[in-house]
C-alpha cells in the first residue's frame, strides 16, 4: 500500500512556537499564582497531553505535591485540578499571540508535501479557543492545515490516538500506513503508534530541547549535539519510526516512507 496520503502535524514546537515556550511558561505562571514554584523541566514533563491532564500529571510529581501541601495544607484534589485548569485557559490564550511565529522551514516543507498531493492536518493539546488563536496566527503567515483537531474535540487527548484518527475521518484518508504523524513530545510519538501510523519526532525545535531559536543557536556545538542526541534517543526509545531535528527534514522522511511502503513495509 502507498504512498503517503496525509501528514498530521502537532502545533507548538513542531510547526509554530519554536521551543514550545507558550505552554511551558503558562504552566509555571499558573502554579506560581497558586503558591507553588515549579521548574521549567517540571512544566515540560507531560507536554503533549491535553492541558487538564497535563496539570493533573504535574500535581502528581512528588516535589510539586509536597509544595502544594505546604502551601494549601492538604493534598491537591480533582476539584483543585479543575480550578487550576479554569485559571489556565485565559492565561494561555492571552500568552499565545506572542508565541505563534512559524518555525523556520515550515512553509517550505508544507508546500513541498502538498506539491506531491499529500494532505496536511494538525492536532494539538490545546482546547478550541487556544487552537483557534494559533490557527489564525499561522494563517496570516501563510500556513493553514486542511483539518485541525484539538483535545477537546475527541474523547481523550494524547497518548490516545483519537485526534489523529479524527483527522483521517474528516479528510477521508485511510489506511493508517498512508499517514505520518509528526510531533515534538513523547505523547505525540505514543499517539502515532496507538493510531497505527508512522510516528516521527522532532527534537531541536520543540519541547525536548525546550529552547528558543536564539537560545538553541547560542549553545556551543558539543552541548547542542549532546542534548539533541539525548532527545533523539528518548524519542527512539518511545518508539518513533524516525527522528529529525525539525520539520524542514520531514519531506525527506516522507520520501523514505514512500519507498518503504512500496517494498511492503508497514508502521
Residues 87 and 124 in one domain: no
Residues 138 and 240 in one domain: yes
- Find the mean pLDDT for residues 3-29: 96
CATH of the domain at 83: 1.10.150.240
- Find the mean pLDDT for residues 25-34: 96
d(CA 66, CA 27): 17
pLDDT at 2 over 80: no
Of 68, 98, 128, the one marking the end of a domain is: 98
Domain that holds residue 248: 6-20+101-262
- Find the mean pLDDT for residues 1-19: 94
Residues 88 and 165 in one domain: no
pLDDT at 260 over 90: yes
pLDDT at 104 over 90: yes
In this predicted model, what pLDDT tens digit does every residue of 53-74 receive, in sequence order?
A: 999 999 999 999 999 999 999 9
Q: Are 199 and 169 in contact (CB under 8 A)?
A: no
Confidence at residue 76, expressed as pLDDT on a 0 to 100 scale: 97
Q: Are 201 and 242 in contact (CB under 8 A)?
A: yes
CA-angle at 126, arms to 129 and 215, nearest 5°: 115
How far, in Å, are 151, 187, 196, 260 from residue 175 at the CA level? 22, 22, 9, 15
Of 47, 74, 98, the one marking the end of a domain is: 98
CATH of the domain at 232: 3.40.50.1000
Proportion of the chain above pLDDT 90, given as a percent: 99
Count of structural domains, the chain: 2
Q: Are 47 and 20 in contact (CB under 8 A)?
A: yes
Residue 116's pLDDT band, with cuts at 50, 70 and 90, is very high
Confidence at residue 190, expressed as pLDDT on a 0 to 100 scale: 98
Residue 1's pLDDT band, with cuts at 50, 70 and 90, is low
Active site residues: 10, 51
d(CA 111, CA 117): 10
Confidence at residue 59, expressed as pLDDT on a 0 to 100 scale: 97
Strands 242-244, 198-202: pairing is: parallel
Smallest Cα–Cα separation from 87: which of 30, 40, 127? Answer: 30
In this predicted model, what pLDDT tens digit does every residue of 139-190 receive, in sequence order?
A: 999 999 999 999 999 999 999 999 999 999 999 999 999 999 999 999 999 9
In this predicted model, what pLDDT tens digit does every residue of 123-133 receive, in sequence order?
A: 999 999 999 99
Q: Are 246 and 137 in contact (CB under 8 A)?
A: no
* Within-domain flag for 83: yes
The C-alpha R_g of the chain, in whole angstroms, comes to 18
| DSSP letter for each residue of 101-165 | PBPTTHHHHHHHHHHTT-EEEEEESS-HHHHHHHHHHHHHTT---SEEEEGGGSS--TTSSHHHH
Mean predicted lDDT score pLDDT of the chain? 96
Kindly report the pTM of this predicted structure: 0.92
pLDDT at 84 over 60: yes
* Within-domain flag for 1: no
Confidence at residue 24, expressed as pLDDT on a 0 to 100 scale: 92
d(CA 84, CA 55): 8
* Within-domain flag for 267: no
Residues 149 and 246 in one domain: yes
Residues 93 and 60 in one domain: yes
Of 79, 98, 117, the one marking the end of a domain is: 98
Residues 124 and 221 in one domain: yes
Q: Are 209 and 232 in contact (CB under 8 A)?
A: no
d(CA 199, CA 197): 6
Amino acid at each position: 500500500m502507498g504512498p503517503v496520503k496525509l501528514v498530521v502535524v502537532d502545533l507548538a514546537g513542531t510547526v509554530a512556537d519554536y521551543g514550545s515556550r507558550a505552554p511551558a511558561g503558562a504552566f509555571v505562571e499558573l502554579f506560581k499564582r497558586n503558591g507553588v514554584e515549579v521548574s521549567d523541566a517540571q512544566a515540560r514533563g507531560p507536554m503533549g497531553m491535553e492541558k487538564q491532564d497535563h496539570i493533573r500529571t504535574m500535581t502528581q510529581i512528588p516535589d510539586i505535591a509536597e509544595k502544594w501541601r505546604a502551601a494549601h495544607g492538604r493534598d491537591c484534589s480533582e476539584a483543585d485540578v479543575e480550578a487550576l485548569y479554569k485559571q489556565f485557559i485565559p492565561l494561555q490564550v492571552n500568552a499565545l499571540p506572542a508565541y505563534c511565529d512559524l518555525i523556520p522551514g515550515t512553509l517550505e516543507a508544507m508546500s513541498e508535501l502538498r506539491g506531491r498531493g499529500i494532505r496536511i492536518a494538525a492536532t494539538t493539546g490545546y482546547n478550541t479557543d487556544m487552537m483557534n488563536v494559533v490557527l489564525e496566527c499561522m494563517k496570516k503567515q501563510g500556513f493553514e492545515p486542511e483539518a485541525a483537531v484539538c483535545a477537546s474535540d475527541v474523547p481523550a487527548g494524547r497518548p490516545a490516538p483519537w485526534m489523529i484518527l479524527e483527522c483521517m475521518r474528516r479528510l477521508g484518508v485511510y489506511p493508517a500506513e498512508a499517514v505520518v504523524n509528526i510531533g515534538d513530545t513523547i505523547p505525540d510519538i505514543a499517539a502515532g503508534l496507538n493510531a497505527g501510523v508512522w510516528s516521527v519526532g522532532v527534537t531541536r525545535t520543540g519541547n525536548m530541547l525546550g529552547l528558543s531559536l536564539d537560545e538553541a543557536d547560542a549553545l556551543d556545538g558539543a552541548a547542542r549535539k549532546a542534548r539533541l542526541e539525548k532527545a533523539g534517543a528518548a524519542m527512539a526509545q518511545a518508539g518513533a519510526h524516525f527522528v529529525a531535528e525539525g520539520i524542514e527534514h520531514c519531506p525527506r522522511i516522507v520520501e523514505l516512507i514512500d519507498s518503504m511502503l512500496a517494498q511492503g513495509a508497514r508502521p
